[in-house]
């Protein structure tokens, strides 16, 4: 039993899963701690300015966001109900993808952990408070006020799309020659297995019954010289 447990934790998939869990926990903690800090610093007052991070570009301002990421659909209760349901479905789907489709894809699994941290971070706020605590004002870029969870979801989603399209031998368009060659080898193996599965097994050929030789059964009398 002990040896089986040791072998389990030595597996690459297990190690990547543990790393992903650590990444998920660390990012979720960052999100919740920064939200709690902003709330305390503002005294819970909505719209309180905290400080300027980059003049003219990024500042910190505490906002009670009743909308979704970057303050979209603010104060729309029906939209928020849909968003909450969608978030729960997304969280379950990400876990399923983590253990199935991307089970052997290390970059994708870690990226899924990043997205999961952001999704759960905002879901906790929405279920516990009825709103999401935002503090990073990026209005200068055409967005509203957001939080770190929004960044995790947005950048994680972009990174995951990039990985699916370009990274690894299973990508749609592998970037490196090595990945392209590995993809070709995998395709050849799949075609060989498919051909072997489709071709019927050859039945052993039945042996023909012995036929009498030309001499046997020749009843013509022999003439003496």
Tokens of 224: 């003496």
pTM metric for this prediction: 0.77
**What is the longest distance spanned by two Cα atoms in the chain?**
135
Of 31, 134, 208, 224, which is the active-site residue? 134
- CB contact at 8 A, 133 and 65: yes
pLDDT at 224: 46
> Rounded to an integer, what distance in angstroms lies between the CA atom of residue 43 and that of residue 41?
6
Among candidates 146, 160, 66, which has minimal Cα distance to 113? 160
Query: What would the two tokens of residue 76 be?
Result: 């729309």
Active site residue 150: yes
Burial 159-182 (b: 16+ CB within 10 A, else e): bbeebbeebbbbbeebeeeebeee
Is there a contact between 151 and 118 (Cβ–Cβ < 8 Å)?
yes
Collapse the DSSP code of 96 into the 3-class scheme (helix H, G, I; strand E, B; otherwise coil) and give the result: helix
Chain centroid to Cα 19, Å, comes to 14
Among 102, 121, 122, residue whose Cα is nearest residue 112: 102
Going by the DSSP 8-state scheme, the letter that residue 66 receives in this structure is -
Q: How far apart are CA 199 and CA 135, in angstroms?
A: 63
Residue 114 has what pLDDT? Answer: 97
Q: Are 118 and 111 in contact (CB under 8 A)?
A: no
User: pLDDT tens track of the chain, all 225 residues?
Assistant: 655 555 555 678 889 999 999 999 999 999 999 999 999 999 999 999 999 999 999 999 999 988 765 555 555 667 778 888 988 999 999 999 999 999 989 999 999 999 999 999 999 999 999 899 999 999 998 888 899 999 999 999 999 999 999 998 889 999 999 999 988 998 888 888 888 888 765 545 555 555 555 445 455 555 544
Task: Give the pLDDT score at 144.
Answer: 85
Distance CA 175, CA 179 (A): 7
Q: Which of 31, 125, 137, 150 is catalytic?
A: 150
């Amino acid at each position: 039993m002990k040896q089986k447990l040791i072998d389990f934790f030595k597996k690459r998939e297990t190690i990547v899963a543990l790393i992903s869990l650590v990444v998920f926990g660390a990012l979720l903690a960052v999100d919740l701690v920064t939200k709690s800090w902003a709330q305390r610093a503002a005294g819970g007052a909505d719209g309180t300015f905290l400080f300027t991070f980059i003049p003219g570009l990024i500042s910190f301002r505490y906002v009670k966001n009743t909308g979704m990421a970057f303050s979209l659909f603010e104060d729309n209760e029906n939209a928020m109900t849909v968003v909450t349901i969608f978030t729960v479905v997304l969280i379950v789907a990400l876990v399923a993808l983590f253990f199935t489709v991307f089970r052997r894809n290390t970059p994708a699994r870690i990226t899924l952990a990043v997205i999961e941290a952001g999704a759960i971070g905002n879901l906790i706020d929405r279920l516990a408070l009825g709103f999401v605590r935002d503090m990073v004002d990026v209005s200068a870029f055409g967005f509203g006020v957001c939080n770190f969870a929004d960044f995790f979801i947005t950048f994680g989603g972009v990174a995951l799309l990039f990985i699916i399209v370009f990274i690894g031998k299973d990508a749609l368009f592998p970037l490196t020659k090595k990945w392209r060659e590995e993809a070709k080898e995998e395709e050849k193996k799949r075609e060989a297995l498919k051909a072997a599965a489709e071709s019927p097994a050859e039945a052993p050929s039945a042996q023909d019954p012995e036929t009498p030789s030309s001499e046997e059964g020749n009843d013509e009398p022999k003439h003496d010289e």
